[in-house]
Amino acid sequence: MTDTTRPDRGTPLIPLPHGAARLLTTVGAVATIASTMLAWTWTAEFPGDLTVTAYPAGLQLLTLTGGILTLLYALTLWDVRGLRWLNPGRTTAPVFLTALAAFAVTWYTVLAIAIELGGLANLEPGGYVAAVASLLPVIGALALPRPGDTWKSYFAKADDIPRPAPLPAWAERVAITLALALGLVVFTYGISTPDDEYGETFSGFGLLVVFSAWALFSAGLTDRFSALNARHKGFATSMAFLAAAIFPFTQTEDHNANIGVNILIFATVALGLNIVVGLTGLLDLGYVAFLGVGAYAAALVSGSEYSRFSGTQLPFWGAVLVGMGASLVFGVLIGAPTLRLRGDYLAIVTLGFGEIFRIAVNNLDGSSGPDITNGPNGIANIPDLEMFGFNFGDPHDIGSFTLGRFANYFLLMLIFTAIVVLVFTRAADSRIGRSWVAIREDETAATAMGINGFRVKLIAFALGAALAGLAGTVSAHVSYSVVPTPYQFAGAAPPNSAFLLAAVVLGGMGTVSGPLLGASMLYLIPEKLQFLKNYELLAFGLALVLLMRFRPEGIIANRRRQLEFHETGQLDVPEQKTLPEDPAVTKAGA
């Protein structure tokens, strides 16, 4: 039997009657959920304590989540009325991807138990049940009608997803709020995962998030959410920042707030680089130097005893203006003689500037050069910022919540991020922003149309440098010290120029949320997977290769760039219909 509701679907990879395939997928999802109530191992040495019956914990919770998602999407194939919105195109791709998510987490856990504890003998019967149960929905999904003509259709979005039914404005705002609340829960869980020896919990979390997000994309829900955001742009942006502001109140450990504030610093710098790379198309390989200029300028006027100007301590806004101003000046000084270059030559010059900055601050120690930056030792003991009597280094009680030092800086950096987002969006939508895009697409054509290419590029370079200096000011006070080591092209951990550029490309060039997401991923993943050590860059490189192969426009794509990277069907000239000839016209022409 075939799926008569969607006759355009391809032949299943596994020959089974359609009804049996749906039943196998549904029963397998229920069995996967039930398996999380059993003990998977006999010892609590494996992270999460998977020895308790009827009490899912650790990676079992992730398998439980994957099983529930699989069950929900399996039920959409039974045409359950209340779940139609989950799979509007009635495609089997999200069913397969959610089943793959539960399968990946379960089998990863089973194999990790066997490897780390020394063999399959360390598995309880519940572990075997979970392994078999999670395999059933995958088999059932492959026995369902294929979403398209090739195997790639299992990972693609259907082309014929119907338009959503119109909703009242209040209902759309509720949907946006619920989606952002879910995003906050997911991020909070990810950042709060325990620091296991081999990162087992976070690895399972990553597998679940990747395949589940892929399933939502294939079902067309991400496109619908993007459309909602476009219709309620101001409301969606406000709710996103409100969700971020709630994050410190969900944490009991200041360490997680420390990760959060560093993610915001990294993300803000990436957003500034997005002006240079994403909007203007200038390949800047030394951008992290502007972050260092802002950090060192703020540290010199912070009142630190190790500063060359130890007697000078500017107030909060003074330090911010000094950091931004110094980066702005350096951006103009470096950009003025170099922005007449293009392509690889410009990239080489910016790479050289980044290395010159790091070497210069390393040598300004009083022996190799003037005593300004204290050389390799840097500027230490930078005091905490204070504004209107509010010291960011002291804990503060808000109701029953206590915000520690890093939580205070997180909220401060969130305000700065909002400012940077506002500057980026206003600049991108302005006349100068359209000039940047024109320069990026074709500088020769833009110049021929009257755009002063050098001036436009210099403005982008200077503005990006100033935004990096703003983040550098906060970075210096958060870390208590500034040293030359982080400000290089590539290193073991962000921020460095390679990771900043990767965050822009990974997230999506030319967008606001893309670099923010890319920076969050590139900072959080190395933080949680420290066991990779020397293999971290290898794993990072493989991930970038896969992303560039399957989604070169980035995770959150700019519409124009998405059309550039996926030309099939976009640039085809529609077939022209030939009108019947008029005999009178034909005779006259003859």
Q: Residues 295, 204: one domain?
A: no
Please report whether residue 363 resides in a domain. yes
Picking from 152, 134, 153, the residue whose alpha carbon sits closest to that of residue 6 is 153
Instruction: Give pLDDT, residue 142.
Output: 93
How many domains does the chain contain in total?
2
Can you tell me the distance from the alpha carbon of 134 to that of 33, in angstroms, rounded to the nearest whole number? Answer: 9
Domain for residue 386, yes or no? Answer: yes
The tokens for 150 are: 């090739």
Residues 224 and 287 placed together within one structural domain of the fold: no
- Total residue length of the chain: 590
The two structure tokens encoding residue 38: 């059993």
**Nearest residue to 358 via CA among 278, 295, 303:** 295
Rounded CA gap, 392 and 396, in Å?
A: 9
Same domain, 296 and 410: yes
Query: What is the DSSP track for 411-441?
Result: HHHHHHHHHHHHHHHHHHHSHHHHHHHHHHH
CB contact burial 312-328 (16+ within 10 A = b; e otherwise): eebebeebbbbbbebbb
User: Which residues are bridge partners to 115 per DSSP?
Assistant: none
Structure confidence at residue 173 (pLDDT): 94
Residue 51, both tokens: 């020895």
Hey, what are 151's tokens?
């195997």
Using the 3D structure, point to which of 489, 514, 542 is the last residue of a domain. Answer: 489
The pLDDT value given to residue 491: 65
**223 plus 363 within the same structural domain:** no
Cα angle: 182, vertex 188, 189; to 5 degrees: 90
Q: Which residues contact 186 (CB under 8 A, 6 or more apart)?
A: 209
Residue 185: CB atoms within 10 A of its CB come to 12
* Residue 588 CB contacts under 8 Å (≥ 6 apart), including other chains: none
In contact, 99 and 107? CB cutoff 8 Å: no
Same domain for 209 and 286, yes or no, is: no
Within a domain: residue 536?
no
The residues that bridge with 401 in the sheet, in sequence order, are: 398
pLDDT of residue 558: 67
Question: If DSSP codes are grouped into helix, strand and coil, which group holds residue 482?
Answer: strand
Residues 67/59, Cβ–Cβ less than 8 Å: no
Residue matched to tokens 């070169």:
552
Report how far residue 328's alpha carbon sits from residue 198's, in angstroms, rounded to the nearest whole number.
43
Query: How far, rounded to the nearest angstrom, does the alpha carbon of residue 249 sit from its chain's CA centroid?
Result: 22
Spatial separation of the C-alpha atoms in residues 148 and 558, rounded to whole Å: 26
Are 358 and 474 members of one domain? yes
Residue 348: alpha-carbon gap to chain centroid:
27
Q: Which residues pair with 403 in a beta bridge?
A: 396
Residue that is last in its domain, among 231, 247, 273: 231
pLDDT at position 572: 40
Residue 587 has what pLDDT? 42
Helix axes 169-192, 221-231, angle to 10 degrees: 120
Domain membership of residue 25 as a residue range: 18-158+199-231
Q: How many Cα neighbours within 13 Å face the side chain of 465?
A: 27
Residues 219 and 300 in one domain: no
Question: Is residue 252 in a domain?
Answer: no
In a domain, 136, yes or no: yes
Residue 356 lies in a domain: yes
348 and 216 within one domain: no
User: In angstroms, rounded to a whole number, what is the distance separating the alpha carbons of residues 26 and 30?
Assistant: 6
Q: Are 223 and 342 members of one domain?
A: no
Question: What's the predicted TM-score (pTM) here?
Answer: 0.85
Residue after which a domain boundary falls, among 427, 457, 489 = 489
Note the pLDDT of residue 582. 41
Q: What pLDDT does residue 2 have?
A: 40
CB 66 within 8 A of CB 101: yes
On whether both 149 and 82 belong to a single domain, the answer is: yes
Report residues of the chain scoring pLDDT below 50: 1-8, 568-590
Say whether both 329 and 218 belong to one domain.
Answer: no
The answer to the question of residue 524 being in a domain is no
SS3 146: strand
Task: Classify strands 396-398 and 390-391 as parallel, antiparallel or unpaired.
Answer: unpaired
Residue 193 in any domain: the answer is no
Q: What phi and psi values does residue 386 have, to the nearest 5 degrees?
A: -140, 130
Give phi and psi for 159, each to the nearest 5.
-85, -15
Distance CA 237, CA 185 (A): 18
Q: Looking at the structure, tell me whether residues 430 and 362 fall in a common domain.
A: yes
